[in-house]
Structure 1
Amino acid sequence: MNLEIKQVERIPFSVPFREVPARNMVRELPHWTLFEICRVTLQSGIVGFGETMQYYTWGTVSDAAVEKCIGCNAAELMWDDSLGAGLQMALFDAVGKANDVPVHRLLGAQHRDRCFLSWWDIDMPAEDWVLECRQAISEGYTAFKTKARPWFDLDHQCKVLCETLPPWFDLDLDFNSMLVDAPRASRLLPEIEKYSHVKLYETPLPQDDVRGNNIVRTKTNVAIAMHFGVPPIMTALKEEVCDGFVIGGGASKVVRDATLAAAANKPFFLQLVGTGITCAFAIHLGAVLSHARWPAVNCHQLYTHPMVKPAITVSNGLADVPEAPGLGVELDEETVERFRLPEMPPKPYPAPKLLLAIRWPSGASSYYTHTMQYWEDFTAGRLPLFPSGVYLESIPDDGSSEWRDLQERAQRAPVHTGSRAGG
């Protein structure tokens, strides 16, 4: 079989969010709708495909990467992470199809025939968490990863959500280091573990705070996950800063990091983000990595369309590993054409015409227009962290000059008031 690469086609497209994610992702990640399909054609006529989430990926596909591939053997290049996500994925798909084997056969010895998957959502009001978990459960999921943020009352969120959950459903709370320091984390994390559904805390502190993370780990019975590589793996193991890891990136990096985690007997979850296309590739990786024991995060549940046929299905928290050649799924060509763009637009952040209010329990309010504004204020110590009773809301444009004036002021700098100005 001739594995020489004849052609690489790149197709930009935008796939919509579902309703609940859409109204929450707009604050921080409106650009997560933008993707690029890579379609690789071999001289033999075999076609492989993959995708890149253009503005959130471990590696975009460049013109130079495409040029590097033309005329080369796909099997010799498929482990090259520098090619970018979509192109690497497409090469694995093409080589698998050419050899009539599923991608996991190219990645290593199969360890499992079903992989753990988690539902994912960004931070949102408790009522939206309830809606999302209800849908997750209806679709066969048993775990939910979400964001713990200081602009929502985390205890209230967990209380409202956990009252609606069956006892077997697990929660993973990702702080993205927003507890900031060990004293604060040592107080809050044990309080939240009273909710028995909470099974994992992710990155409660900045990961390079080795001493702080070591202290925090001794203060809670909930497992702590940290992204592999910071601090360096030998430091992380020696100083016992976490119970397991988050692993992502290109195929070579993932397999290398997963091998080291397995040697240390540390569990991890894979985090490769995209539509059903990326999810399928991640499932093949999970099939061969022995310590991929925690539910993988792929975020494909955010979207109205899976982009593959058949769609990934889950039962009892597990998805079957595809056994058909290549990725084992087909690209939904009709939907690709429906959502195709003439070219990749610039990153659409911040989203226009947003006015966001953080409501403090004291009665004061702080106004912003996108997440990165208040993220910086929280992490820099300019705002209270995780106070009881805090919440964030979006103030709709009522067409008034008052709304427009407040929104324009908040674009330039945060607006802090002692009352609920603006709604």
Structure 2
Amino acid sequence: MTQDLTITEVRLTPILVADPPLLNTQGVHQPYTPRLVVEVVTAGGVTGVGETYGDTKYLDLAAPLADALPGRRVSDVNGLHRLAALVCGDSPEASGADAVDAGGLRGVQTADKLRLSVVSGFEVACLDALGKALGLPVHALLGGKVRDAVDYSAYLFYRWAAHPGGAGEPDDWGAALDPAGVVAQARRFARDYGFASFKLKGGVFEPDEEIAAVRALAEAFPGQPLRLDPNGAWSVETSLRVARELADILEYLEDPASTTAGMAQVAAGTEMALATNMCVTTFAEIPEAFAAGAVQVVLSDHHYWGGLRNTRELAAICRTFGVGLSMHSNTHLGISLAAMTHVAAVVPNLDYACDSHYPWQSEDVITERLEFKDGRLAVSDLPGLGVELDRGRLARLHRRWLEDDGAMRDRDDAAAMRAAEPGWTAPPVPRW
């Protein structure tokens, strides 16, 4: 019997998820971070799930889109972007083209970029529902997998042992504030998850300290791929110096400078590959960056690019221009990790292991936590994404959001840092 694919209901559930005290150039992660779970229900009784950012500015755009979807079909994913442009309008908080998304460290933020991130959650939910209705995995809806497992990289952070004042949820990772701490963290990632490549979030300490940490990683894991990401905290001159110092060690240097023009200057002065998830996050930003030779690796992210299908199109463009492809990660749960894995499985030119914050997240909203084995995640062949929502967990994390006084509903790493350093403000760029 043919399933009725008409959307009858869309449920939006904002949640707050525990986040460790991970440091970056803007500050530190808050004890809890906002995410949004999207559920799309069909007349045939199928529910699809998606996940995206849950800050207020995203919720403001998600609500009118959710109201407009009932009566449409989950198979009409082409219509999502057009519908979002019609009903969402501009978020007042995103009206300035020069605004910087400090929380996401994603470069210049615009209303269009916010809409893309909102649509991504709805598209994943629709594809999940469509796959369940048809008995097909999402990767089959994207053209079919070309690999049975996807390689992921350990995501290393400088971090505190705990949030100030005992806030948040405790963990047993301990502090990592020097090369020895970073190496110890990497050894645990390798032991527990089998990761064979390592990325360090930089821009936290003086560049020489971070160079020392990378050298310590190279000594501890000889021959294994290493990456360093200071999130645009360095000047062109500093970027070139670090590139020279680590020329024989790094697989690539990610966003050392904060603009396409700066990245192009760095690229012209070094043979090291430069990667980005800051200056190339939309199709409109590709021509300038590629023509200038500013980046050699694009870190795709279906949340940024507006969904899985746009991510697949990005991969084709990168393949055409000989630009490498990997995958960016922000704090996310199992729904997003499953979606990342499905799209990574269909892309022939996945040149580098993908990033993932998932091992840092102690909480989830799915019934069974996804497991890395030998640094890889198996691609599910179950219908849809292959994950199921745990309503008890979802309700508990939503209740936390409801009980919050508003301090955590919008991610602000600089505000979180002020709990430890009252006078802290996000440093100007470049920081060094």
Fold equivalence (TM over 0.5): yes
Q: 2:243 aligned with 1:186, yes or no?
A: no
Name the counterpart of 1:203. 255
The one of 225, 231, 246 aligned to 1:176? 231
CA shift for structure 1 position 122: 4.1
RMSD: 2.9
Q: Please, which moves more after superposition, 261-270 or 89-98?
A: 261-270
Counting only pairs closer than 5 Å after superposition, residues 224-263 of structure 1 correspond to structure 2 as 224-227=274-277, 228=280, 232-248=285-301, 249-251=305-307, 252-263=309-320
Which of these two proteins has the greater Rg computed from alpha carbons?
1
Between the aligned partners of 1:101 and 1:191, the Cα distance in structure 2 is 49
Native 8 Å contact 1:36 1:54 kept in 2? yes
Give deviations 1:254-278, integer Å, cap 9, x for gaps: 2222221111232211225311210
Name the counterpart of 1:351. 416
The one of 352, 369, 375 aligned to 1:294? 352
Name the counterpart of 1:337. 395
Task: Point out where structure 1 has 5 or more consecutive residues left out of the alignment.
Answer: 357-367, 386-423
Counting only pairs closer than 5 Å after superposition, residues 18-417 of structure 1 correspond to structure 2 as 21-22=20-21, 24=23, 27-30=27-30, 33-55=33-55, 62-77=62-77, 80-81=80-81, 82=84, 84-124=119-159, 125-126=177-178, 127-138=180-191, 139-149=193-203, 151-152=205-206, 153-163=209-219, 165-181=220-236, 183-194=237-248, 196=249, 198-209=250-261, 212-227=262-277, 228=280, 232-248=285-301, 249-251=305-307, 252-273=309-330, 274-341=332-399, 343=402, 345=406, 346-347=409-410, 349=412, 350-351=415-416, 354-356=419-421, 369-370=423-424, 373-376=425-428, 379=430, 385=432
CA shift for structure 1 position 348: 5.5
Secondary structure of residue in 2 paired with 1:80: helix
Secondary structure of residue in 1 paired with 2:27: coil
TM-score under structure 1 length normalisation: 0.75
Name the counterpart of 2:110. none
Native 8 Å contact 1:147 1:174 kept in 2? yes
Distance 1:229-1:45 versus aligned 2 partners, 3 A rule: closer
Distance 1:85-1:156 versus aligned 2 partners, 3 A rule: same
TM-score under structure 2 length normalisation: 0.74
Native 8 Å contact 2:218 2:226 kept in 1? no
Between the aligned partners of 1:226 and 1:58, the Cα distance in structure 2 is 23
Secondary structure of residue in 1 paired with 2:251: strand
Native 8 Å contact 2:22 2:29 kept in 1? no
CA shift for structure 1 position 156: 2.7
The residue type paired with residue 356 of structure 2 is: N
CA shift for structure 1 position 120: 2.2
CA shift for structure 1 position 167: 2.2
Which one has a larger percent strand, Structure 1 or Structure 2?
1
Distance 1:300-1:88 versus aligned 2 partners, 3 A rule: same
Between the aligned partners of 2:59 and 2:395, the Cα distance in structure 1 is 24
Between the aligned partners of 1:154 and 1:56, the Cα distance in structure 2 is 34
Native 8 Å contact 1:57 1:85 kept in 2? no
Native 8 Å contact 2:21 2:31 kept in 1? no
Distance 1:104-1:60 versus aligned 2 partners, 3 A rule: farther
Task: Point out where structure 2 has 5 or more consecutive residues left out of the alignment.
Answer: 85-117, 160-176
Q: Please, which moves more after superposition, 150-159 or 266-275?
A: 150-159
Secondary structure of residue in 1 paired with 2:349: coil
Secondary structure of residue in 2 paired with 1:330: coil
The residue type paired with residue 375 of structure 1 is: P
Name the counterpart of 1:399. none
Between the aligned partners of 1:348 and 1:263, the Cα distance in structure 2 is 36
Native 8 Å contact 2:132 2:383 kept in 1? yes
The residue type paired with residue 135 of structure 1 is: R
